Amino acid sequence: MAIVSSISENISLAALAIESGQLVAFPTETVYGLGANALDGVAVATIFAAKQRPRFNPLIVHVSDLTEASRYALINAAAEKLAEAFWPGPLSLVLPRRPECAISSLVSAGLDSIAFRSPAHGIARHLLAATGLPIAAPSANRAGRISPTSAEDVEAELGDIPAMILNGGPCLLGLESTVVRLAHGTAEVLRLGALPREEIEAALGETLCRPDAATNAAHASPGQLASHYAPEARLRLGAAQAEAGEALLAFGPETPRFAGPTINLSPSGDLKEAAANLFAALRRLDRTGAATIAVMPIPAHGLGEAINDRLSRAAAER
């Protein structure tokens, strides 16, 4: 079974599939997730196998709320503040595991912490409520590739691997969650994402630390590899114009004259719109067969920080 509509009957079937250890792909407001029962180590192992994901890259666990997360992790004041401000929403919180934590240790990739998120999307929430389980769900793509922002993208990435793909149409935000670790007495941003860093800092009343790239790669946030979100084509960033044979990923009202394949992420220069369109645009330009995608500069503020992070990883040496 592949893509199915998200009528409540299908969500009930999806809940049964999760309860029986199968994988279900479902929409969230960020990207589509590939979900499994986080308490079931075999089901979690199936996610790693399906995505060909390195075992050192931990998964985010989706929960209904902070009370559910508190059954598995230690909650501090900063976590309460951030969950109050942003949950449900595109913020993942990395918290210390409770010693008796029932979530599979595979989820944490051997770390003593777990990342939790309470998604805002109605289908994701419905699925969490129907199972009553914590659902481990990384993005529903093969490791290192572009995250899917539609049910069709999931099918193109994973084919028949999920027992079902719940169709919720295109994702509203289109970028993965921002990951903040609150595990060592500090608040650190481990991954930039759909919730701008400035908004988190304003709610917290403090500046978020950024672990340096070297420590990050080694252990802090093992999944944050230099090359990720990669299309087949090479990316040429900061391009003022595109050359013959290239495709153009444009941004804003003033775009260079170009006859080749072109997508403008946001003709009005709106970063939210650009974020929502980014992954689908990369996929579409990739399908033109162009060897290189020329990418116009994107402003560095607000969501632009996360967009530029994804673009630089997509452009990195593989």
Q: Which residues bind Mg ion (CB under 5 A)?
A: 139
Strand partners, 95: 114
Q: Which of the ranges 35-43, 108-116, 252-260, 261-269 carries the binding residues for ligand AMP, by CB under 6 A?
A: 108-116
Q: Which of the ranges 8-16, 51-59, 151-159, 308-316 carries the binding residues for ligand AMP, by CB under 6 A?
A: 51-59
Token look-up 């309460």 returns: 80
The CB-of-240 to ligand AMP minimum distance in angstroms stands at 33
Identified binder of ligand AMP from the candidate list 79, 111, 290, 306, rule CB under 6 A = 111
Told to check if 59 binds ligand AMP by CB under 6 A, we report: yes
- Cα torsion 154, 4, 273, 259: sign: positive
The CB-of-317 to ligand AMP minimum distance in angstroms stands at 19
Told to check if 57 binds ligand AMP by CB under 6 A, we report: yes
Q: Helix (H, G, I), strand (E, B), or coil: what is residue 144?
A: coil
| Contacted by 6, from Mg ion, ligand AMP, none: CB < 5 to 8 Å by type | none
Pairing of strands 24-26, 234-236: unpaired
| Contacted by 191, from Mg ion, ligand AMP, none: CB < 5 to 8 Å by type | ligand AMP
The interface with ligand AMP within residues 169-208 (CB under 6 A) comprises 176, 179, 181, 190-191
CA separation (Å) from 21 to 159, 165, 238, 271, 309?
A: 18, 15, 45, 39, 34
Query: Which x/- pattern over 216-255 shows residues binding ligand AMP (rule: CB under 6 A)?
Result: -----x-xx-------------------------------
User: What are phi and psi for residue 157, nearest 5 degrees?
Assistant: -80, -45
Query: Which of left, alpha, beta for 229 (phi over 0: left; psi -120 to 50: alpha)?
Result: left
Cβ-closest position to ligand AMP: 223
Report the 10 Å Cβ neighbour count for 62.
28
The CB-of-176 to ligand AMP minimum distance in angstroms stands at 5
SS3 content of the chain, % helix, strand, coil (to 5): 30, 20, 50
Q: Helix (H, G, I), strand (E, B), or coil: what is residue 290?
A: coil
The interface with ligand AMP within residues 121-160 (CB under 6 A) comprises 138-139
The CB-of-90 to ligand AMP minimum distance in angstroms stands at 11
User: What's the distance, CA 36 to chain centroid?
Assistant: 16
Contacts with ligand AMP, residue ranges (CB under 6 A): 57-60, 94, 108, 111, 113-115, 138-139, 176, 179, 181, 190-191, 221, 223-224
